[in-house]
């Protein structure tokens, strides 16, 4: 599982750690990242020995969100928006897979956690953030709707509708303490204690019955109305594609 272009993947006992590893782009989420994450998640789901998946980021930041340079490139190459739509559909598939996995997922967060990066984190079961975390949902300020991957329903449920509405409309940055207050983080720790905090969760999980653990996740997914939360994802892709395409057309001479 180590032959990925954008990820560092390690397996220790029954814990799989998946680290975004493109620090030169601040771990921006490109099509290649989506392909790699989809593949590793598919393989992990098929391995009965894996019980926990930790999602982390290399370098100074967890992730600054979707790769906006790639959006512009795809639209320049294909003004119809079909290539961009395919990319956004891939993001939907990843979010659906992460939302519905029977593995226990843990987000290990530090530095900037922005846009789509925050979306991936929120889809994890447990989230621990270093005290240097800085969060932001900047989509409206960039002239696009918050429609990446169909994650908005999950954000609203986890963080609370009034609070998330305010943060989306103002594009305000917020820190780890605020994220904890909103339940977007379960726990905040100093950066040097981040790994030990993750182990405090993952180690006991490795001693649980694999069948009981997966059935518990299945029940949590079912009672969490994951199917209902996914409704609107296809609309989100069409909406984001049309807005981005329109923006590119207005920029051309």
Domain boundaries, the chain: 7-251
pLDDT of residue 246: 55
Which residues lie across from 104 on neighbouring strands?
Answer: 52
DSSP calls for 107-172 = EEE-SEEETHHHHHHHTSSEEEEETT-EEE--GGGGTS-S-GGG-HHHHHHHH-HHHHHHHHHH--
> How far is 20 from 167, CA to CA, in rounded Å?
25
pLDDT of residue 97: 94
> Beta strand pairing status for 187-189 and 126-130?
parallel
**Residue 136: pLDDT above 70?**
yes
Residue 182, classed as helix, strand or coil, is coil
Q: Whose CA is closest to 89, among 227, 240, 191? A: 240
pLDDT of residue 149: 84
- In the numeric block, which tokens belong to residue 252? 């051309």
Instruction: Check: CB of residue 114 under 8 Å from CB of residue 150.
Output: no
Can you say whether the dihedral through the CA atoms of 155, 160, 162, 163 is positive or negative? negative
The pLDDT of 148-166, averaged and rounded, is: 90
- In the numeric block, which tokens belong to residue 154? 């999950």
pLDDT of residue 239: 53
Q: What are the distances in angstroms from CA 23 to CA 26, 57, 121, 186?
A: 4, 8, 17, 25
- In the numeric block, which tokens belong to residue 113? 């956690």
Buried b (16+ CB within 10 A) or exposed e, 4-25: bebbebeeeebbbbbbbbbeeb
Q: Which residue has the tokens 């559909």?
A: 89
**Residue 191: pLDDT above 90?**
yes
Percent of all residues in the chain with a pLDDT value above 90, rounded to a whole number? 64
The pLDDT of 64-85, averaged and rounded, is: 80
> How far is 154 from 66, CA to CA, in rounded Å?
18
Residue 242: pLDDT band by 50, 70, 90 thresholds?
Answer: low
The pLDDT of 156-161, averaged and rounded, is: 92
pLDDT of residue 245: 58
Q: Which residue has the tokens 């961009």?
A: 84
> How far is 90 from 71, CA to CA, in rounded Å?
13
CATH fold of 7-251:
2-enoyl-CoA Hydratase; Chain A, domain 1 (3.90.226)
Q: How confident is the prediction for the chain on average, in pLDDT?
A: 87
Contacts of 23 (CB under 8 A, 6+ apart): 58, 59, 60, 61
Which of 13-22, 66-75, 99-108, 120-129 bottoms out in mean pLDDT, i.e. has the lowest? 66-75
Strand runs labelled E in 115-216 = 126-130, 134-136, 174-175, 187-189
Residue 239, classed as helix, strand or coil, is helix
The pLDDT of 65-93, averaged and rounded, is: 82
Q: How many CB atoms lie within 10 A of CB 166?
A: 11
pLDDT of residue 240: 56
Which of 106-110, 146-150, 153-157 bottoms out in mean pLDDT, i.e. has the lowest? 146-150
pLDDT of residue 244: 56
**Residue 57: pLDDT above 90?**
yes
């Amino acid at each position: 599982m180590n032959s990925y272009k954008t990820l560092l993947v390690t397996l220790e006992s029954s814990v799989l750690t998946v680290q975004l590893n493109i620090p030169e782009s601040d771990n921006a989420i490109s099509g290649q990242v989506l392909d790699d994450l989809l593949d590793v998640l598919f393989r992990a789901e098929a391995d009965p020995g894996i019980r926990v998946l930790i999602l982390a980021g290399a370098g100074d930041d967890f992730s600054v969100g979707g790769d906006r340079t790639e959006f512009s490139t795809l639209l320049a190459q294909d003004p119809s928006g079909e290539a961009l739509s395919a990319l956004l559909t891939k993001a939907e598939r990843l979010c659906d897979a992460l939302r519905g996995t029977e593995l226990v997922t843990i987000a290990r967060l530090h530095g900037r956690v922005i846009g789509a990066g925050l979306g991936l984190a929120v889809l994890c079961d447990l989230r621990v953030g270093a005290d240097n975390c800085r969060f932001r949902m900047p989509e409206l300020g960039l002239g696009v709707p918050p429609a990446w991957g169909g994650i908005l329903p999950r954000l609203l449920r986890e963080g609370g509708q009034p609070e998330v509405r305010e943060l989306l409309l103002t594009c305000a940055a917020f820190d780890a303490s605020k994220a904890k207050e909103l339940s977007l983080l379960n726990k905040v720790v100093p950066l040097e204690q981040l790994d030990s905090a993750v182990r405090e969760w993952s180690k006991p999980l490795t001693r649980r019955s694999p069948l009981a653990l997966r059935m518990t996740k299945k029940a949590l997914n079912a009672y969490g109305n994951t199917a209902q939360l996914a409704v609107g994802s296809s609309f989100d892709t069409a909406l984001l594609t049309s807005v981005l395409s329109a923006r590119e057309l207005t920029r051309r001479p």
